[in-house]
């Protein structure tokens, strides 16, 4: 056997090649990358535009931010400029890119500056890079420009370096689409000279921010990051070239990195750091959240932290796993062992407890042959609101106290006939009932109330809280501790049973769905199974649109789902752009429906529209399950189309 045979690419690497070839069918993206404002990105982009025009290529300027620099504005002469779209927002007239005109004009290349720009609320997409993706999907090449601080995964590093929080970011997955990243580079000394000469537009930045940002040390650090981004891009191109041409190389087994995501203000930092780490070691990365009983008591702020972090995972291209259990560390360890995870990333705890082990401690002691990385996340100015103790389960308080009240009356009537040990047994019986069926706080209150009543009515001297015989009192205390222990264990057991039932219901449902899909022989059967399963599992109204010659038509729907031109328009957008839209996304986010494209590795076969009636009850794990249903349906449709 030859040496080269041992080093052939794996199927996963060949899939990467297929994806890169699929990208080549779309428009090509060229990004002019700088490390700070004023390095000359727009100037370089417009200079190249003149070269392309001289080569006979049809190129237009969709938007160029010249910052009133004469030398840059002069480069617009001789180029076709698409007039900007004037949008009024909060009394201010904004100049925005007219993407519809560009799509109608269909040039070979369109220049769109300010990649990280946020669109006005009236726009379909919330970010400009999403509009650029639509141009690329339409087969139009795009030249765009951005500074390195706007790359999502570097946001925390830039904050650490410059002490300036960047609000507008572009996901790293968008940069990975780039056909070419051109570094526009000048020395920090030359940049500072341009700043002093007034050649850099920084009108919107506060003077303190300018003084902080444009320091030699900051600029050197940002320049190093920009160089690293370009170097990584070249490395990836070289790796793909070696795979495509079967050049022998060190084709290693893909590593797996797992990050534990919790409802924490530092969750996004952890996700970004894990993404960078996984990229550095060329590893697949997974974000895992364990839903425990605590999830039910999350504040709105905590829910936003968790959802924001998981949305970021999706944006950066990571895999989301949602598990349920009563011990987060145990679930993480079990998942890591069963899925061949090689490294686990988690935040360094801010403090350690003497009475309970932290999750990092459990991970370190509970794993073998898995590396544990604890990241020291940077402190931020975060308004941490204390949870308000809400007295929920009011009916449980009534039941708990009523039980004690009944036992007290019964015991008082029989006080002359029962000794104190028997009396304690009566109270103990009532408290055990409370412990098995009620929540902790009602049980604690009823235990405390029974202690006072027993002392007041049944321990001499009667009708006072004085204690003459400590034996009975200590016995009651021991029984009370036993009751609270029983309550805690019973609550854990009920949580585990409920979690198992929910997980089992969903897993059985998905298993039955996948089994039925295998037996489906035509498109109508697939659509009917999909709609019925979503309705059964989530009680959501659903419609499925299928592809018909690059357009969509309604394939199936539930009775109460009303189809409007807007719904069809969003579904068509999803089919063309092969991206989810609607609730929980950055596109058509104001609608109350979620639109999921039915994608396989080869093609897009349709769109599932799901009407979310109660947004509060729609959780991240619901979205994960719906994604799984959508993929299974798409695979079934692909099989049927191939057989036809």
SS3 content of the chain, % helix, strand, coil (to 5): 50, 15, 30
Contacts of 222 (CB under 8 A, 6+ apart): 35, 36, 147, 148, 149, 158, 161, 162
Token readout for 586 is 């950055």
User: For residue 280, what are the contacts with CB-CB under 8 A and spacing of at least 6?
Assistant: none
391: buried, middle or exposed (CB in 10 Å: 19+, 13-18, 0-12)? exposed
Q: Bigger pLDDT: 50 or 508?
A: 50
Gap between the Cα atoms of 209 and 195, Å rounded: 14
Calculate the average pLDDT of the chain: 81
Strand order in 255-260's β-sheet? 319-324, 283-291, 255-260, 343-347, 371-375
DSSP 316-377: HTPEEEEEE-S-HHHHHHHHHHHTT--EEEEEPPS---SSS--HHHHHHHH-SS-EEEEE-P
Contact 341, 258 (CB under 8 A): yes
Mean pLDDT on 597-615 = 85
Q: Return d(Cα 511, Cα 505) in angstroms, integer.
A: 10
Region 302-322: mean pLDDT is 85
pLDDT over threshold 80, residue 32:
yes
* DSSP states along 488-543: HHHHHHHHHHHHHHHHHHHHHHHHHHHHHHHH--SHHHHHHHHHHHHHHHH--EEE
Burial of 431 per CB tally in 10 Å (0-12, 13-18, 19+): buried
> Contact 97/83 with Cβ under 8 angstroms?
no
pLDDT score of 436: 82
Structure confidence at residue 589 (pLDDT): 77
Tell me what pLDDT residue 387 has: 45
Q: What is the pLDDT of residues 349-384, one digit of tens each?
A: 777 665 567 888 888 888 888 889 988 877 554 454
Output the pLDDT for position 394: 65
Higher pLDDT residue, 352 or 634? Answer: 634
Residue 213 CA: distances (Å) to CA of 160, 166, 245, 331: 11, 12, 45, 43
How does residue 7 score in pLDDT terms, banded at 50, 70 and 90? very low
Pairing status of strand 283-291 against strand 255-260: parallel
How far apart CA 275 and CA 214 sit, in angstroms, is 28
Q: What is the pLDDT of residue 6?
A: 40
Which domains occur in the chain, in start order? 25-244 (3.40.50.300), 255-375 (3.40.50.620), 394-490 (no CATH), 520-643 (3.30.450.40)
| C-alpha separations of 171 from 192, 213, 358, 489 in Å | 29, 23, 32, 45
pLDDT tier, 49 (very low <50, low <70, confident <90, very high otherwise): very high
Measured in Å, how far apart are the chain's first and last C-alpha atoms? 41
Q: Is residue 389 over pLDDT 50?
A: no
Residues 425-471: tens digit of each pLDDT: 788 888 888 888 888 788 888 888 887 887 778 777 777 777 666 77
Lowest mean pLDDT among 15-29, 84-98, 240-254, 562-576: 240-254
Query: Measured between alpha carbons, how far is 11 from 14 in angstroms, rounded to an integer?
Result: 5
Q: What are the backbone dihedrals phi and psi of residue 630, each rounded to the nearest 5 degrees, phi first? A: -60, -45
Tokens 């002093």 locate to: 196
Residue 584 has pLDDT above 90, yes or no: no
| Angstrom distance (rounded) from CA 235 to CA 231 | 6
**Residue 137 or 254, more confident:** 137
Helices (H) and strands (E) in the chain, counts: 22, 18
DSSP state of 612: -
Q: Which helix (H) or strand (E) holds 96?
A: strand 92-96
| Interval 126-155 mean pLDDT | 91
- The pLDDT of residue 424 is 76
Please compute the mean of the pLDDT values over residues 507-514 and round it to a whole number. 79
Here the contacts of 410-413 (C-beta below 8 Å, separation 24 or greater) are 411/457, 411/458, 412/457
Q: Which pair of structure tokens corresponds to residue 454?
A: 């027993």
pLDDT of residue 388: 45
Please say if the pLDDT value at position 124 is more than 90.
no
CA distance 611 to 591: 9
Work out the angle at residue 141's Cα, subtended by the Cα atoms of residues 138 and 142, and round it to the nearest 5 degrees: 110
- Residue carrying the six token digits 């060329």: 282
pLDDT greater at residue 300 or residue 333: 333
Q: Across residues 260-264, what is the average pLDDT?
A: 89
pLDDT of 617 = 66
**Contact predicate 149/222, CB 8 Å:** yes
Residue the block writes with tokens 């970011």: 169
What six digits make up the tokens of 360?
């990092």
Structure tokens at 164: 């300036």
User: Is the pLDDT score of 3 beyond 50?
Assistant: no
- Angle of helix 470-519 relative to helix 440-458, nearest 10 degrees, comes to 160
> Among positive and negative, which fits the CA dihedral 229, 233, 236, 238?
negative
Measured CA to CA, the distance from residue 543 to residue 561 in angstroms comes to 7
229-253 pLDDT, tens digit each: 887 777 666 666 665 555 554 444 4
- Going by DSSP bridges, is the β-strand pair 141-147/29-34 parallel, antiparallel, or unpaired? parallel
What local confidence, expressed as pLDDT, does residue 321 receive? 87
Q: CA 533, 535, 539, 542 torsion: positive or negative?
A: positive
The model's confidence at residue 202, banded by pLDDT at 50, 70 and 90, is: low
Query: Residue 433: is the preceding peptide bond cis (ω within 30°)?
Result: no
> What does pTM read for this prediction?
0.62
Digit-coded pLDDT (tens) for 464-496: 777 666 776 677 778 778 888 887 788 777 777
Residue 5 has pLDDT above 50, yes or no: no
CB 597 within 8 A of CB 626: no
């Amino acid at each position: 056997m030859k040496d080269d045979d041992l080093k052939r690419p794996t199927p996963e690497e060949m899939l990467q090649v297929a994806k890169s070839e699929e990208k080549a069918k779309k428009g090509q993206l060229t990004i002019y990358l700088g490390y700070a404002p004023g390095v000359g990105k727009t100037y370089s982009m417009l200079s190249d535009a003149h070269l392309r025009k001289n080569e006979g290529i049809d190129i237009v300027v969709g938007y160029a931010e010249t910052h009133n620099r004469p030398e840059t504005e002069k480069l617009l002469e001789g180029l076709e400029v698409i007039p900007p779209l004037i949008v009024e927002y909060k009394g201010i007239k904004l100049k925005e890119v007219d993407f519809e005109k560009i799509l109608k004009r269909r040039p070979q290349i369109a220049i769109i500056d300010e990649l990280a720009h946020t669109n006005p609320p009236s726009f379909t997409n919330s970010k400009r890079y999403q509009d650029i993706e639509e141009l690329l999907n339409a087969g139009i090449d795009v030249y765009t420009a951005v500074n390195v601080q706007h790359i999502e995964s570097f946001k925390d590093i830039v904050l650490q370096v410059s002490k300036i929080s960047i609000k507008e970011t572009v996901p790293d997955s968008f940069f990975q689409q780039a056909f070419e990243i051109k570094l526009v580079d000048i020395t920090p000394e030359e940049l500072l000279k341009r700043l002093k000469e007034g050649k850099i537009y920084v009108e919107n930045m506060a003077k303190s921010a300018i003084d902080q940002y444009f320091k030699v040390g900051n600029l050197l650090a940002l320049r190093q990051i920009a160089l690293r981004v370009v170097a990584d891009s070249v490395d990836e191109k070289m790796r793909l070239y070696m795979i495509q041409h079967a050049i022998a190389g060190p084709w290693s087994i893909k590593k797996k990195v797992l990050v534990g995501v919790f409802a924490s203000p530092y969750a996004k930092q952890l996700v970004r750091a894990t993404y960078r780490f996984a990229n550095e070691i060329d590893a697949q990365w997974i974000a895992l959240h364990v839903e425990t009983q605590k999830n039910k008591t999350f504040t709105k702020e905590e829910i936003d932290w968790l959802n924001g972090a998981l949305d970021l995972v999706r944006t950066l291209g990571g895999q989301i796993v949602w598990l349920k259990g009563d011990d987060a560390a145990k679930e993480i360890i079990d998942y890591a062992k069963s899925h061949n995870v090689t490294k686990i990333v988690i935040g360094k705890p801010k403090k350690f407890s003497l009475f309970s082990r932290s999750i990092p401690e459990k991970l370190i002691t509970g794993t073998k042959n898995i590396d544990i990385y604890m990241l020291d996340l940077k402190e931020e100015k975060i308004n941490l609101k204390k949870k308000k103790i809400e007295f929920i389960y009011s009916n449980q308080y009534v039941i708990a106290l009523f039980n004690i009240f009944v036992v007290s009356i019964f015991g008082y009537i029989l006080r002359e006939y029962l000794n104190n040990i028997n009396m304690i047994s009566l109270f103990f019986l009532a408290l055990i009932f409370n412990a098995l069926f009620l929540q902790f706080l009602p049980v604690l209150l009823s235990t405390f109330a029974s202690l006072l009543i027993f002392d007041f009515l049944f321990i001499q001297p009667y009708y006072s809280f004085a204690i003459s015989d400590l034996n009975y009192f200590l016995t009651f205390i021991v029984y009370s501790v036993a009751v609270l222990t029983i309550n805690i264990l019973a609550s854990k057991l009920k949580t585990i049973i409920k979690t198992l039932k929910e997980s089992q219901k969903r897993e059985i449902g998905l298993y039955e769905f996948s089994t039925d899909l295998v037996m489906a022989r035509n498109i109508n059967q697939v659509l009917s199974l999909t709609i019925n399963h979503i309705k059964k599992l989530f009680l959501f109204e659903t419609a499925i649109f299928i592809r018909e010659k690059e357009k969509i038509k309604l394939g199936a729907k539930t009775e109460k789902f009303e189809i409007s031109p807007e719904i069809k328009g969003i579904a068509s957008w999803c089919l063309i752009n092969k991206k989810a839209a609607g609730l929980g996304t950055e596109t058509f986010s104001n609608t109350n429906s979620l639109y999921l494209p039915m994608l396989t590795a080869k093609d897009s076969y349709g769109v599932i529209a799901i009407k979310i009636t109660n947004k509060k009850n729609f959780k991240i794990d619901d979205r994960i399950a719906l994604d799984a249903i959508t993929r299974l349906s798409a695979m079934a449709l692909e099989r049927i189309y191939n057989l036809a």
